Amino acid sequence: MSKVTTLNEFIMDRQADFPGASGELSRILNDIAVASKIVSRDVRKAGLVDHILGSQGETNIQGEEQQKLDVVADNQFIKAFENGGEICGIASEENDDFIAFTSEHAKKAKYVVLFDPLDGSSNIDVNVSIGSIFSIYHRISEPGTLATLEDMLQIGNEQIAAGYVLYGSSTMLVYTTGRGVNGFTLDPSIGEFCLSHANMQMPETGRLYAMNEGNIAICEKGIQEYIAYCQSSENDKGAPYSGRYIGSLVADFHRNLIKGGIYIYPATDSSPEGKLRLLYECNPLALIAEQAGGLATTGRERILNIEPTQLHQRVPFFVGSKNMVEKAISLLQK
């Protein structure tokens, strides 16, 4: 039997790759792993426990306020970062504004995290895969002070680490610190994430495309042409690609990372900026895609080069296998 490498061991081994590293990033990754195990446990109970299902603001039979799983996950990650002591502030999809942690210890911390605590939340109540996404940066403001908006609004290229957790048929954590991408599967019997997908590479091309095609009539001509290309027998494969759309970005991305494919959420007449959020959805997945040999773009600009102006900024998003994204760009720019 080959030796099992736990996430903990892997993180410790990799710390040696960063001379002078004092272990803060390793502790942040560990905090994320612990929080995501708790979220995974709660996700696995969805449908059993009435405080997990149901909408925010309702009260259950005991008079306790019911919480949506997005809020449960949000609180779990915030608690992990606040107690962990390596993070001075966070921004999350579930909070209108960023949060600067106020303890003296947190104010001295050097990092910020931006995250989508629960991605694909429309899939929770129908038992379909969902995920969490995170992005880690060095703060720009002086350590010892409160985190600022400027700390949150950095270009994706500055990410120190990024990753996601997929609550699928198994729970997986996939992350990068800018030196390749590695995936870990949670072994529920020992409660550990174990290295299962070392040095992940996105195939250069594939035959899977993922887009909400309900929007096809309200997006620009280049997108319609690209989808027609995917469906044509005259494309590079000489046969129509397969359409696969889960509606959970993490799950659609993960499938394409392994099998090769493209994910598209374009600008539409009803969402002229696209739907997905730059800071905690597109940037982290763009870094992972590029680290695995793939590409991520708005169709006009590399995602990782965008200067953010707002916390919840949306951008059109094309991500996946290099050749497929390049083909989509060529039709958009025609």
248 binds, among Mn ion, ligand AHG, none (CB under 5 to 8 A by kind): ligand AHG
Among 119, 151, 252, 290, which residue interacts with Mn ion (rule: CB under 5 A)? 119
Question: Rule CB under 5 A: is residue 252 a binding residue for Mn ion?
Answer: no
Q: How far is the CB of 234 from ligand AHG (least distance, A)?
A: 28
**Which of 85, 88, 331 is CA-nearest to residue 230?**
331
121 is a contact residue toward ligand AHG (CB under 6 A): yes
* Span from 10-18, 108-116, 152-160, 171-179 in contact with Mn ion (CB under 5 A): 108-116
Query: How many residues sit in the footprint of ligand AHG (CB under 6 A)?
Result: 10
The yes or no reply on residue 212 touching ligand AHG (CB under 6 A) is yes
Q: How far apart are CA 69 and CA 71, in angstroms?
A: 5
**Residue 275 interacts with ligand AHG (CB under 6 A): yes or no:** yes
Q: Is 120 in the site for ligand AHG (CB under 6 A)?
A: yes
Cα separations in angstroms, 171 against 118, 186, 244, 255, 257 = 13, 5, 20, 14, 16
Compare residues 240 and 247 and give the one whose CB is closer to Mn ion. 247
Residue for token pair 């707002």: 310
Residue in 203, 202, 219 with CA at minimum distance from that of residue 266: 219
The SS3 assignment for 124 reads: helix
Give the one residue of 31, 74, 86, 116 binding ligand AHG; rule: CB under 6 A.
116
Binding string to ligand AHG for residues 228 to 247, with x set by CB under 6 A, is what? -------------------x
Minimum separation from the CB atom of position 269 to ligand AHG (A):
13
- Binding-site string for ligand AHG from residue 81 to residue 100, where x marks contact by CB under 6 A and - marks none: ------------x-------
Give, in order, the Cα–Cα distances in Å from 309 to each of 150, 152, 264, 279, 281.
Answer: 9, 10, 23, 10, 16
Distances from the Cα of 19 to the Cα of 3, 110, 291, 295, angstroms: 27, 17, 21, 29
Q: Are 209 and 264 in contact (CB under 8 A)?
A: yes
- In the complex, the smallest distance separating the C-beta of residue 107 from ligand AHG, rounded to whole angstroms, is 29
* Amino acid identity, position 261: G
- Residues forming beta bridges with residue 65, ordered by sequence position: 59
Give the residues lining the site for ligand AHG (CB under 6 A).
93, 116, 119-121, 212, 247-249, 275
Give the residues lining the site for Mn ion (CB under 5 A).
93, 116, 118-119
